[in-house]
Structure 1
Amino acid sequence: MRRTFTDFTVEVDMKRPDFLRAKGNGQRNLLLGRAVAEFASDLHHLEAIQQEFVDGASRPLIRSDWSSSGADYSDSSQLLIEGQQVMQDWEHPLMHKLAVNACESGGDILEVGFGMGISAGYVQDCGVRSHTIIEINEGVAERFAAWRAERPGADIRLAFGGWQDVIGGLGQFDGILYDTYPTNEDEFVKTLGPKVVTLAANFFPAAAAHLKPGGIFSYYTNEIDSLSRAHQRALLEHFSSFKVELVTGLQPPADCTYWWADRMAAVTAYK
């Protein structure tokens, strides 16, 4: 199938004669036509909004596993680990949206990743019953301890380690907020490669398993303005429904190595 649009041509070259054959050529052409039209729509939309992006900067390689690497908070506007920009303070609007969504029903909240404590602060503002945070980096865990000491009356707990290692013993939650960054280069390739719809997809099974009935899973995706069909299918394998909200007006600096647009999609999935 070959479709020519104003700015480009899309061609699908079938390598197997029985691929997507359905019951006949009419059905096959209908399915192919839908896929091509969606792809073309994505390209047109990206062309329309890409002028609003900041330049961004190249991400350095993660040269070692950073669970024991120092956490650099010397610049109060960002967190650096092994030279990687892990979090910056322009993320406040996004972290606020994720926290409010995760805490919609109050109760017991699990947060995966502490970072600069931005979303953790917003979770506490929601007045939740309990707040458990998973963190793998020792330096960040020290920062958490100081943050926790400022809230002596709150039920806040730390589960130290990788989420894959500790979540099995944490029980059930009313809401889960997921915001992590790969801790080594191999994990980066596996979790943010071309076949992965979003970093959070690796956490979908665990989130579903550790949410109470009706529980809420909150995370963001770098798809900017919507969710792909592959992303939606992955969500519906584990959750009953979901909603997508755009957080706009973000202002990442031009030298940000992990983000380059003025918007991000916040996803809320319901068990």
Structure 2
Amino acid sequence: MENPTTSVPSGTDQPPIELIEQNGEVTLSIGGEQAMQAWERDLMWAGADLLCEYGRDFYEVGLGLGLSALRIARNPVTRSHRVLELFPEVERLFRERNPGLPGTLRIEQGDFFRRIFELPSESVDGILFDPALDMAVWEDDALWLRTVPEVVRVLRPGGAFVPFFSTKPELRRQYLPHFTEMRVVRRPYTAYDTTAYTYGTAGDAYIQCFLKS
């Protein structure tokens, strides 16, 4: 999801969440906004496959439709994959559509901006980051200056941090100060005509992979 729109809630607040399937389109709606759509599958799989090049124990932030979660959990190299999801209803919808989950997959409930401080140092080989966040969160530089060093701490040496794809060829400024090595993989994409969160509905997407030295 390129421009997530859901803010971090306080307490147990949960915005309206629904899975909309119409006219051949599948959309996860959070707070009345498009949070994720099924056309993203190939890009999410590409990001998941890239992550799996860097180890066997993985962590993911944001379940969404579970496209990358299942891809990572089913990869032959994967020993464990934990997914942190903020909203219980997102997990319920995912489980309803996907009975019989892989044994490598575990889903947890929680807020990333609190949980990351609790994770053990050098405990995972890779983190895939795709939560639904309000634009105000993305623009909170102080928040990211506190948080991204914790991401680096949790990664094992040589580990990878893969945020959600971008449809603009720009490195994400929230992460750049904290990594010295990165990969960018370009992939074509075609979104739905109704997609509102990409820069255009067709073109090139960029999957960014930040590496811990």
Same fold (TM over 0.5): yes
- 2:101 alignment partner, one of 130, 148, 151: 151
1:205 CA displacement: 2.3
- For residues 1-271 of structure 1, the aligned pairs below 5 Å read 65=9, 68-75=14-21, 77-127=26-76, 128-146=78-96, 149-151=99-101, 154-171=103-120, 172-182=123-133, 187-191=134-138, 193=139, 204-222=148-166, 224-227=168-171, 231=173, 234-235=175-176, 237-248=177-188, 250-261=189-200, 262-271=203-212
1:132 CA displacement: 0.5
**SS of equivalent to 2:116:** helix
Q: Which has the higher helix share?
A: 1
Structure 1 unpaired stretches of 5+: 1-58
The percentage of aligned residue pairs carrying the same residue is: 26
For the Cα contact (< 8 Å) 2:55–2:159, is it kept in 1?
no
CA deviation string 1:20-56 (max 9, x = no partner)? xxxxxxxxxxxxxxxxxxxxxxxxxxxxxxxxxxxxx
Distance 1:174 1:147, change over 3 A: farther
Letter in 1 for 2:206: A
1:140 CA displacement: 0.6
Instruction: Report which stretch shifted further, 120-129 or 79-88.
Output: 120-129
**SS of equivalent to 2:53:** coil
Q: Find the aligned partners of 2:146 and 2:163 in 1 and give their Cα distance.
A: 12
TM-score (norm 2): 0.79
For the Cα contact (< 8 Å) 1:70–1:139, is it kept in 2?
no
TM-score (norm 1): 0.63
Alignment: residue pair count? 198
Q: Which has the higher strand share?
A: 2
Distance 1:201 1:122, change over 3 A: farther
**SS of equivalent to 1:180:** coil
Distance 1:70 1:207, change over 3 A: same
Structure 2 unpaired stretches of 5+: none
Q: Which has the larger radius of gyration?
A: 1
Q: Find the aligned partners of 1:173 and 1:100 in 2 and give their Cα distance.
A: 16
Q: Find the aligned partners of 1:64 and 1:166 in 2 and give their Cα distance.
A: 13
Letter in 1 for 2:195: C
Instruction: Report which stretch shifted further, 133-142 or 163-172.
Output: 163-172
Q: Find the aligned partners of 2:118 and 2:8 in 1 and give their Cα distance.
A: 28
1:92 CA displacement: 1.1
